[in-house]
Structure 1
Amino acid sequence: MKLDQDELTRLAGEHRFQVAALEKVIRLGDLLVEFSRNPLLRDGLLLKGGTALNLCFGPPLRLSVDLDFNYVRAEGRDQMLADQPELERAIRRIAETRAYRVQASRDEHAGRKLFLGYQAASGTPDRIEVDVNYLHRVPLVSPIERTCWQPGQYPAPQARLVGMEELAAGKLCALLDRAAPRDLYDAVRLPELARHVWATPRFRGACGHSPASGALVHRGPTGPRVGRCN
């Protein structure tokens, strides 16, 4: 995929984003279009994380530039293990036909990352990370379908996402685990983005809410972390 630097600069100025990040978002959109045309990827993956929150609920205030998925095609471990090589081959084939150089992380317990390298319109090397988690195979709530934002006339892909309760709970848990500025920024917007589920018992159960104390309790790798969920 080749993009025009002058066009990217114009769009970046119009939307007030950095050129490199905007180019990456356009590339994410192009990949999601291609993923949606592959039955295994379309039916087997649900988008989650910052990209889902920032690109799939209207014009973004922040650009998230990776693709994070849950594998959900089968609940059973045996079928998941059978699907994993073919699913990753499908991602690799799509990426290579779009002129990306594909490298894979080592096979970890939760899943694998694919790094899609490319030469940006500016001439500098860059990459997109595609992260597939194979542990969270059973969605907590029904998935949703959303249109992903793209600048200008670039095609806006349809994407299947984890449900809003799961999306919001995942972001709150990421904030407690990493305490990263980007997670805090996204979390502040959740009461508005997730307003139809924010105060429901189902959502508070999904994010480990303690009704007695009003606290969000997340048990991460270093022990329980507590924050406010009201």
Structure 2
Amino acid sequence: MPQFNRRELDVRTREYGFNRDTFEKVLRLRTILDFLNTHEYMREHLLLKGRTAINLTVFNLPRLSVDIDLDFVPNLTREETVNERERLTEVLKGFMSEQGYAPSEASRFSHSLDAFHYNYVNAAGNRDMIKIEINYSLRTHVLLPEDRALVTDAFLFKNKIRFVPGSGCEG
């Protein structure tokens, strides 16, 4: 699991004006997004959408999003989607386990949405949670996926994030 130094986080959050625990969570999300965007299978099948995409790639907002919302990309038959969904779940769970995150009983799975919740203890010693949602319905995108860099240097993220343009109010 990524380890963060509380004092270093305090310095960086004062510099950028963020809440320390929320900032740490976004740094953790950044690590997960890096995996999702560099793992070939995950990159081909998932797109970031929603407020996190907007906050990280469009506007340099002082508000930090604290979850990852994804759309399943391929347009497949139901049977093919079920098979791909199982593989996506296996890959994601494997990565999160390798990183030291514990699956939460708060996770929920329905016919159209997987909501993975993972617990961890942050640098301040507080219990916290990361939520990753994968949407499998209402996901036909009019615009082609885009790769964008993060708009703030606060997160030290060099890779671009693949996301759904038009998934919110971005310009």
TM-score, normalising length: structure 1 = 0.68
Give the equivalent residue in structure 1 for 2:130: 128
Amino acid in the other structure paired with 2:99: R
Q: Structure 1 residues 76, 150: CA separation in 2 closer, same or farther (over 3 Å shift)?
A: farther
**Residue of 125, 142, 152 corresponding to 1:140:** 142
3-state SS in 2 of match to 1:116: strand
Structure 2: tracts of 5 or more residues without a match: none
Within a 5 Å distance, the mapping from 1:146-157 to structure 2 comes to: 146-149=148-151, 151-152=153-154, 154-157=156-159
Contact 1:115 1:129 in 2 (8 A): yes
Amino acid in the other structure paired with 2:87: E
Deviation at 1:59, TM superposition (A): 2.8
Deviation at 1:70, TM superposition (A): 0.5
Give the equivalent residue in structure 1 for 2:74: 73
Q: Structure 1 residues 153, 82: CA separation in 2 closer, same or farther (over 3 Å shift)?
A: closer
Give the equivalent residue in structure 2 for 1:117: 119
Amino acid in the other structure paired with 1:75: L
Contact 2:150 2:157 in 1 (8 A): no
3-state SS in 2 of match to 1:87: helix
Percent of matched pairs sharing the same residue: 27
Deviation at 1:151, TM superposition (A): 4.8
1:41 and 2:51 aligned: no
Q: Structure 1 residues 48, 152: CA separation in 2 closer, same or farther (over 3 Å shift)?
A: closer
3-state SS in 2 of match to 1:14: helix
3-state SS in 1 of match to 2:42: helix
Q: Which has the higher contact order (CA 8 A, sep 6+)?
A: 2
Deviation at 1:116, TM superposition (A): 1.6
Deviation at 1:150, TM superposition (A): 5.8
Give the equivalent residue in structure 2 for 1:177: none
Contact 1:74 1:137 in 2 (8 A): no
Structure 1: tracts of 5 or more residues without a match: 169-189, 195-230
The structure 1 segments of at least 4 consecutive aligned residues displaced by more than 6 Å after TM superposition are: none
Amino acid in the other structure paired with 2:11: R
Give the equivalent residue in structure 1 for 2:99: 98
Give the equivalent residue in structure 2 for 1:202: none
Contact 1:73 1:137 in 2 (8 A): no
Give the equivalent residue in structure 2 for 1:84: 85
Q: Distance in 1 between matches of 2:133 and 2:77?
A: 20
Deviation at 1:28, TM superposition (A): 0.7
Structure 1 stretch displaced more, 70-79 or 118-127: 70-79
Q: Structure 1 residues 74, 59: CA separation in 2 closer, same or farther (over 3 Å shift)?
A: same
Contact 1:25 1:150 in 2 (8 A): no
Q: Structure 1 residues 77, 25: CA separation in 2 closer, same or farther (over 3 Å shift)?
A: same
Q: Structure 1 residues 151, 123: CA separation in 2 closer, same or farther (over 3 Å shift)?
A: farther
